[in-house]
Structure 1
Amino acid sequence: MRAIRALLVLIALILPASAWADPQYRLLVLAIPNRYHYEYIPIARDSLEHLARLHDFELTYTNDPSVFEGDLKRYAAVMFLNTPGEELSPAQRRIFEAYMRGGGNAVVVHRALIAKPGAWPWFEKLVGRSFVIHPMLQTGVVTVADPGFPATFGLPRRWIWSDEFYVTANPHNVKTETVLRVDESSYDPTRIWPGQVARPMGDHPVAWQHRHENGRVFVTTLGHNGEAYRDPQYLAHLMGGIYWAATGLGRDLSGSR
């Protein structure tokens, strides 16, 4: 018995205090490689694992949608990372819908918001806006629309960023709150491939948040390049969205418009 007690004391001295504590929350990330998005996966995984250690949350990172057949209630939020909802089977979709109705939360990143119109209207409404088309990847100026929202706290008021600035529409008339916009005068919204046409939106949101069912949803259209997932400002943007979606905390009403 003395030997066991001595061993426990030794382990307590060796392990950091955080090893004995429960994580603040759990985040599930679904990241499935596809034709246009695969190089980001090892970079994003490494960066998200670092954020999980830094901010004391538990991360489950997977490319297997069968995880949606398990108990999603253990996760404070589910992230679709460049992975659209169409990757889920009908049964997995029903489980995710039940998770959101039960108070679950979602983070949708870049390619994940592109859905075939009418294939899963519920997911289209969860995203809040639908993908129309995107010009060629360009450098532009992203502006902060809501300085009181956590996904803007690590960003300058005007941010030089290179991405596919998705053109979106709102066919389901979902009420969303814009977090970031892109200044269309800072790049060419019509620069696109032969045979395709892209037009300026005018008011051009590139990140937003809203409520769906009984949960919080954060969406960012940014994140095309793999190198984005090494960029401290982009990761601050992503972390702010994760933090708010998972906890509902951090909203600075004094900083909002």
Structure 2
Amino acid sequence: MTMMVRMMLALAALILSPAALAESQFKLLVFAMPSTYHYEYIPIARESLEQMAKLHSFELVWTRRPESFDEDLSQYAAIMFLNTPGEELNAGQRAKFEAYMRGGGNAMIVHRAAITPPGEWPWYEKLVGRRVGVHPMLQTGVVTVEDPGFPAAFALPKRWVWSDEFYVTTNPHDVRINTVLGVDESSYDPTKIWPGQVSRPMGRDHPIAWYHSYEKGRVFVTTLGHEGAMYRDYRYLTHVMGGIYWTATGRGQAATSAR
């Protein structure tokens, strides 16, 4: 047998192998633009999410271009806004994203992406489900699992020591959300804020991750994820993966989580 024939047979075996024939379970668009305060996370998050996609057999499309929203969005099971708010989209791109959600598309909002100027795009603010006012300085606090039956909480302890910006939110649009994670305000100083701003405690009900239905789709929001190093943290990544899994498929909730 010649060397060329052996090489062709080896190539054919690779192409026809079960691994090569495996199909992605779903397709996820990740929108991540660098900004003044959020850019160092990008190479770390991209590497971690791409490894996650390989491990869990889904297709990940990473973009920093708002122009990606000019394309066919129906190909994506979900769209993740990763530290990049909807205000980065122009009027036409916003309209296409709205149409995507009305057609049964799904969205995942991570950290800075939850913040949009009041009145800038009320539809997007309703999609997020809360208006972010201020975010106290990054501090170590205790995150509490409020819904242990939701996939984004499966790998987390009931009380989890974590360091982040614990956003203060309001509900001007009267949107009903299902809280997945909260934060114990007695575990940090919720009034510790940047000069010139005022931060007041939210009290016992302080959601920092939640889900709800919007238009004809699913929305999962986590306000955690400020520092780049967090995207190497196993528990944080399992939190993110649980959110991706539910957002893209609608599956995985325990019976106690169904509401």
> So what's the TM-score if we normalise by structure 2?
0.94
Change (3 A) 1:5 1:94: farther
CA distance in 2, matches of 1:49, 1:18: 17
Change (3 A) 1:140 1:58: same
Identity of aligned residues (%): 65
Counterpart in the other structure of 1:11: 11
Shift of 1:22: 1.8
1:108-147 matches, within 5 Å, as 108-147=109-148
Counterpart in the other structure of 1:74: 75
User: Which AA in structure 1 matches 2:250?
Assistant: G
1:92-103 matches, within 5 Å, as 92-103=93-104
Shift of 1:254: 3.6
Change (3 A) 1:231 1:135: same
Shift of 1:8: 6.6
CA distance in 1, matches of 2:231, 2:153: 16
CA distance in 2, matches of 1:141, 1:12: 54
1:50-65 matches, within 5 Å, as 50-65=51-66
Shift of 1:7: 6.8
User: Which AA in structure 2 matches 1:228?
Assistant: M
Counterpart in the other structure of 1:154: 155
Change (3 A) 1:108 1:62: same
CA distance in 2, matches of 1:74, 1:17: 24
> So what's the TM-score if we normalise by structure 1?
0.95
Q: Assess if the C-alpha contact under 8 Å between 1:164 and 1:222 holds in 2.
A: yes
Does the residue aligned with 1:217 lie in a helix, a strand or coil? strand
Cα RMSD over matched residues?
A: 1.8
CA distance in 1, matches of 2:126, 2:12: 48
Shift of 1:154: 1.0
User: Which AA in structure 2 matches 1:25?
Assistant: F
Counterpart in the other structure of 1:242: 244
Cα shift readout 1:168-193 (whole Å, capped 9, x = no counterpart): 00100001000000000000001112
CA distance in 2, matches of 1:115, 1:143: 26
CA distance in 1, matches of 2:258, 2:102: 28
Residue 189 (structure 2) pairs with residue 188 (structure 1) = yes
Cα shift readout 1:131-154 (whole Å, capped 9, x = no counterpart): 010111000000100000000001
Counterpart in the other structure of 2:232: 230
Shift of 1:228: 0.5
Counterpart in the other structure of 1:84: 85
Q: Assess if the C-alpha contact under 8 Å between 1:147 and 1:256 holds in 2.
A: no
Shift of 1:9: 4.7
Q: Assess if the C-alpha contact under 8 Å between 1:29 and 1:80 holds in 2.
A: yes
Does the residue aligned with 1:122 lie in a helix, a strand or coil? helix
Counterpart in the other structure of 1:171: 172
Counterpart in the other structure of 2:219: 217
Change (3 A) 1:8 1:149: farther
Does the residue aligned with 1:133 lie in a helix, a strand or coil? coil
User: Which AA in structure 1 matches 2:242?
Assistant: G
Q: Assess if the C-alpha contact under 8 Å between 2:14 and 2:20 holds in 1.
A: no
CA distance in 1, matches of 2:213, 2:257: 20
List 4+ stretches of structure 1 deviating above 4 A: 4-9
Cα shift readout 1:97-139 (whole Å, capped 9, x = no counterpart): 0000000000000000100111111000000001010111000
Counterpart in the other structure of 1:253: 255
Does the residue aligned with 1:244 lie in a helix, a strand or coil? helix
User: Which AA in structure 1 matches 2:14?
Assistant: I
